[in-house]
Amino acid sequence: MHSPNYMSLYQWIDGKKLSGDGRATSQVLNPFDGTVLAEMPHATAADLAEALKSSERAFKLWRLVPAWERSAIILKATDLIRERLERFALMLTLEVGKPLAEARMEMGLTIESMQWAGEEAKRIYGRTVASRLPHGRAIISREPIGPVAAFAPWNVPALLTGRKIAAALAAGCSMIIKPSEETPATCLLIAEAFADAGLPAGVLNVVLGDPAEISHTLISSPIIKKVSFTGPTPVGKQLAALAAQQVTPVTMELGGHAPVIVCDDAHIDTVVAFSVPNKYFNAGASCIAPTRFYVQDAVYDEFVAKFSAAAGDIKVGSGLDPETRMGPLANARRLSAMERLIADALAHGGKLTAGGKRIGNQGFLFEPTVLVDVPETAQIMNDEPFGPVAIISRFSQVEDAIEKANRLPFGLAAYAFTTSTARAALLSDTLESGMVGINTYYFGMPEAPFGGVKQSGYGSENGTEGIDAYLVTKFTNQA
């Protein structure tokens, strides 16, 4: 059973759709109104065993497929996704709640990322070094690492599954991927596009169900040679520890708590015009969402007034309504987290200058919120809100703002706005972050690596680094 606009859900294992047959199920909800979109079948132990065997078999074949052919299949699947974009966008809006325009934007990023990986399949290079022997050969080659287990979250489910799949397949790996139990549809549609593009059965398997059971089974298996995880830092720590038991390398893209330093030489209208849509994009549920705004004394009052007014003007509602600029939070956990974090900030002396509460009592709509005067002891200054809350604080000296920005154990994205080239260089050099945006929030280029430092994770997706993550190095010395 599924709602008319949504899709029926299944495990995609070895080229077969598996559902029913007594499998346990859980409900996928529409976060706008809380209605049930579909029943999602859970992978059984036998399903996971079959997915592992199939992935192992398929890897042996796929790694021998010439790079140009791998590339052609990935690019063909990408073309099919482009043709089917409206269907994908509708699924995203239904299961995540995001406005259709944002869903289309996510699909644009997914397509670009997959296209980049498909093209990069042809550019995996080794090298030779001078042999120590006459007529000898010393060859350094790059080989696919093996079957991959991948885990993706619910916030940008098409992009975060699509770019993992395309990069692994480009490198010659097979993959078993588990999308979030809350957002399985677009991952299945991506798998369908790959099947239609001629990807051999088993190269890509999609399993759904209980995250802990699936991750434990897959990561503990000696078949799996690489783990890629995007999601919460506490879960990333558990999975990294599990992978360490097999000495399996992992790519971890975890939480953030992005600082934004707004200097007094910046053009405040422009900064506000950039910042507000980026803060409330995807209802704030983005690991690179700007969260802690540090604004210099001279422009602080102006920034707070203009930012709060713009946040208050955002139209919140159904993602299917073209007037909507922000959809609901994606799940009930985010709703209770917002209520808890805001109450705690207020109890610590913080003040609201916009929003602060739930809208209505159906689904998970929440007001775009701005907090000021929040001390560092408040929970929200330390835990990633992952929701539509901006916290604005003031600073006098840029060096102090940098210290505050670097205070947390996270380091995924950091931003700064200044027209001074000297300040831009200082900020770029000293912000402890995998990605630094100076006068921009844009990191959506698949040709550049995306990843964090500190407890935001390690390894990168996108860029040549994103393909490298699925390769191992071999040195052959031929006498």
Q: Does 291 bind ligand NAD (CB under 6 A)?
A: no
Among 120, 253, 367, 432, binds ligand NAD (CB under 6 A): 253
Q: Which x/- pattern, by CB under 6 A, does the window 19-38 give for ligand NAD? A: --------------------
Q: Which residue has the tokens 């500190």?
A: 454
Whether residue 188 contacts residue 87, with contact meaning beta carbons closer than 8 Å, is answered with no
Q: For ligand NAD, which is the closer residue by CB, 9 or 398?
A: 9
CB atoms within 10 A of CB 224: 24
Dihedral angle computed from the Cα positions of residues 282, 284, 287 and 293, in that order, rounded to the nearest 10 degrees? 140
Determine the Cα–Cα distance for residues 82 and 162; give it in Å rounded to an integer: 13
> What does each C-alpha distance from 13 to 4, 47, 187 come to in angstroms?
25, 8, 13
Q: Which stretch binds ligand NAD (CB under 6 A): 16-24, 233-241, 311-319, 339-347?
A: 233-241
Q: Does 432 bind ligand NAD (CB under 6 A)?
A: no
Q: For ligand NAD, which is the closer residue by CB, 257 or 306?
A: 257
Whether residue 386 contacts residue 255, with contact meaning beta carbons closer than 8 Å, is answered with yes
Q: Which stretch binds ligand NAD (CB under 6 A): 230-238, 289-297, 400-408, 465-473?
A: 230-238
**440-460: buried (b, 16+ CB within 10 Å) or exposed (e) per residue?**
ebebbebeebbbbebbbbbbb
Tell me 366's DSSP state.
B
Q: How far is the CB of 229 from ligand NAD (least distance, A)?
A: 7
Q: Does 212 bind ligand NAD (CB under 6 A)?
A: yes
Among 73, 207, 254, 372, binds ligand NAD (CB under 6 A): 254
Residues 6 or more apart in contact with residue 369 via CB below 8 angstroms? 311, 338, 342, 352, 354, 355, 356, 388, 389, 390
Known catalytic membership, residue 253: yes
Q: For ligand NAD, which is the closer residue by CB, 212 or 343?
A: 212
Considering only residues 169 to 208 of the shown chain, the ones binding ligand NAD according to CB under 6 A are 180-181
Known catalytic membership, residue 39: no
> What is the radius of gyration, based on Cα positions, of the chain?
23
Q: For ligand NAD, which is the closer residue by CB, 144 or 452?
A: 452
Whether residue 364 contacts residue 331, with contact meaning beta carbons closer than 8 Å, is answered with yes
DSSP letters, 199-239, are PPTTSEEE--S-HHHHHHHHHHSTT--EEEEES-HHHHHHH
Q: For ligand NAD, which is the closer residue by CB, 103 or 199?
A: 103
Q: Which stretch binds ligand NAD (CB under 6 A): 200-208, 224-232, 258-266, 314-322?
A: 224-232
Q: Does 151 bind ligand NAD (CB under 6 A)?
A: yes
Among 215, 251, 455, 462, binds ligand NAD (CB under 6 A): 215
Q: Which x/- pattern, by CB under 6 A, does the window 361-400 give for ligand NAD? A: -----------------------x-x--------------
Whether residue 411 contacts residue 417, with contact meaning beta carbons closer than 8 Å, is answered with no
Provide the annotated active-site residues: 253, 287
**Interacting residue ranges for ligand NAD, rule: CB under 6 A:** 151, 153-155, 180-181, 211-212, 215, 230-232, 235, 238-239, 253-255, 287, 333, 384, 386
